[in-house]
Chains A and B, each alone.
Chain A
Amino acid sequence: MSRRIAVPVEAYQGKITDLTRECLIAARLLAGDQDEVVAYMFGEIPAEGNSVLQLADRIITFEDGQVGQPVALAQAKLLCSKLDRAELDLVLVGSSSWGLDLGPLMAAYWGVPLVANCQWLERRENSLWATCRICAGKLMVDVEVEARPAVVLLLPGSFLRKEVAPRSRQPVIERETVAAEEWDSRVRFQRWIEPQREDVDITQAEILVAVGRGIERQENLELAEELAEVLGGVVCGSRPVVDQGWLPPTRQVGKSGMIVKPKLYLALGISGAPEHVEGMKDADLIVAINRDEQAPIFHVADYGIAADLFDVVPALKEALIARRQET
């Protein structure tokens, strides 16, 4: 029997997100040739970058009224009323700020299983097997889901580079109407608030010197600034450093901060929690300095130094200056 895999599409800043792309790839791999992948688009399909929707068999758009606004409550209610549970196998949502509202709400409205923090998903016979990654990435749980439908919140990374055979047919696009009373307006989107931009955009920097909790005190930032200067780079930080107010939010690298792809990411005293790693793992070269040889950052870094940054950073600065003077 053909089953349906639903992928609610997230568009952010006018583009379909990478995480939605991963969900579509995962859906396609799970669906194979027998099952149907249906993408649900709130608002119009964005003009740019929509080729990823080719992975779906059908695209259903909801374009009336405020349906395109990022209100997970109303969108979850809408999907729950419009989707036919009987044929539904799975709802695959990205574990983004929006998805973290949408997915659990849907699962609870229907009373069906939610699988959050899902790093990997596969079918084995009649069951769905998911691997969840929890406790700041330190613990894994394999679960077997029998009940259907299930709602899965997918973490980024696992499906991004998976190969999927191109579809032979274009997806069918259907527009569904949404009557005013079908839209739960108890939560309403008002506006986007941009942070106050200072002069540095860390997403454009080629060299980033990142500081984490290991920098210990605000005054030690100076050390990082000096090194950044010698390297011709910019200082940024992980969440704890920004939460303390030692760096502005625009310098935060991570899940809810900035995603950066510099040539060099030098991580000083950063442990490597998944939310941070999400923001920098695509840097060309990652070098980490951390006293703790067990720190998870060393699984992401290309080169690592398990030593006290307060010893290594000054030595590095000296070595760079010496090199500069030689050439």
Chain B
Amino acid sequence: MEYTPRRIIAEAWSGTLERVIRSPSIWMCVGCYTCSLRCPRQIDLTDTVWPAMRDYALQEGIQPPSELRTAFQNLYLYGNVFGHSPRKRLEWTRGLEVTVRDLSKSPEPVEVLWLVGCYPSYHPRNQVVAREMARILTALGIRWGILGKEERALGDCDRLFGEEGLFEMLVESNRRLFERFQFEKIVLLDPHAFRALEKFYPRFGAVFPAEHYTTFLASRLEQLRPWLVKRINARVTYHDNCCVGRRCRCFDAPRKLLTAIPGIELVEMERNREHALCCGGGGGGMWLDAFITQHGGRRLSDVRVQHALKTGAEILAVSCPFELSRFEDAVKVAGAEDRLRVRDILELLAESMGLSEGGGP
């Protein structure tokens, strides 16, 4: 990365930002918040400088990398980055044995409005996790509902990628959408979406109480504990995702959930909690691996998996939808499929609760 945060600020001081926006550097930020954490002046660089640079670039007509363009286009037209039909948002529920309350079809007051998210709705690996979440919420007797085919992305990705206008558009339509329903709380699987809802939506007057699933379930641990009957005898290491972890300083909830599962031995990677190394998926990174490696960057997920392997853990536990596929790819690249499995916390909980559909891949 030629233009680090420090250099960008230096260029801004000397009036030569033009150079910066034309460099590939601005597209290499993965939104990990480490610079924000370390800034001695506590400037939130990740949420301000990088999106601003990218927005400036776009306004100047600089074309973002083509994969990002496609992602923006898809978000704009279909409300998801894949370009899948919104009508297919419920495919993950096919064959699910628990009741799914589709509030868009039959509105009713619920305790939890669960925003499933694009990856868990459309991506096969993540759909497994969505189903486990449905089972867990039902087992706990929580009255929950989803938005079915009306659900759209929350837009955190495009905000970070510099598409401020697209983000605003999504905020407006989501706000009108959520206002139609009665719920006590919004729960999300995606830490990026949670972050957007918690921090940025209120700036547009869209204020909704929101929680990431880890804190939500951790606050109900006493209710959850009696259900955790099956032992999972494994050494597990937890990867702190950037949004819920470093950014929101929430490190304990996921660990509480994991240690509540009988048989699990929790070990820590060297870089953990606020020092965890990002998986590289945020800020557009999910779409830009080729771009980043072409410009000399490393795949952070490859490095992170090495950290996990060093702990001797058999399971790398995650709580962010991007991480599942990124880490599973990285495990394959490392040739370590027989040593390390990647599982979402929800999959482990469901397995211990005896609800799981098949123990994952």
Contact = CB atoms under 8 A, between A and B. Distances in A.
B62 to A, nearest CB: 17
A224 to B, nearest CB: 14
Nearest to B124: A308
Given A245-B66, A311-B361, A314-B332, A217 B124 contact: no
A217 B361 contact: no
Interface stretch (B1-9, B45-53, B285-293, B342-350): B285-293
Contacts of B67: 217-218
Contact of B289 (A219, A244, A245, A308): A219
Contacts of B124: 291, 307-308, 311
Contacts of A218: 67, 290
A247 B325 CA distance: 25
Nearest to B293: A219
A291 B123 CA distance: 10
A276 to B, nearest CB: 18
Interface in A141-190: none
A307 B66 CA distance: 26
B287 A217 contact: yes
Nearest to B337: A314
Contacts of B290: 217-219
Interface in B282-333: 287, 289-290, 293, 325, 332
B361 A244 contact: no
Interface size class of B (residues with CB under 8 A): 10 to 19
A311 B123 CA distance: 12
Nearest to A218: B290
A308 B325 CA distance: 12
A16 B66 CA distance: 40
Interface residues of A, number: 11
A247 to B, nearest CB: 13
Interface in B254-290: 287, 289-290
Interface in A281-321: 291, 307-308, 310-311, 314
A240 to B, nearest CB: 10
Contacts of B289: 217, 219
Which one of A310, A311, A314 has the greatest number of beta carbons of chain B within 10 Å?
A: A310
A314 B333 CA distance: 11
Interface in B56-99: 66-67
A21 to B, nearest CB: 39
Nearest to B123: A308
Interface in B119-157: 124-125
Contacts of B325: 310
A219 B286 CA distance: 11
A88 to B, nearest CB: 46
Contacts of B125: 308
A291 B88 CA distance: 13
Contacts of B293: 219
Nearest to A245: B66
Nearest to A291: B124
B102 to A, nearest CB: 22
Contacts of A245: 66
A219 B301 CA distance: 15
B66 A244 contact: yes
A20 B332 CA distance: 51
Interface in A229-246: 244-245
B317 to A, nearest CB: 21
A273 to B, nearest CB: 15
Contacts of A308: 124-125
Interface of B: 66-67, 124-125, 287, 289-290, 293, 325, 332, 361
19 contacts: A217-B67, A217-B287, A217-B289, A217-B290, A218-B67, A218-B290, A219-B289, A219-B290, A219-B293, A244-B66, A245-B66, A291-B124, A307-B124, A308-B124, A308-B125, A310-B325, A311-B124, A311-B361, A314-B332
Given A218-B67, A219-B289, A308-B124, 15 more contacts: A217-B67, A217-B287, A217-B289, A217-B290, A218-B290, A219-B293, A244-B66, A245-B66, A291-B124, A307-B124, A308-B125, A310-B325, A311-B124, A311-B361, A314-B332
Q: Which 3 A-B pairs have the closest CB atoms?
A: A219-B290, A218-B290, A219-B289
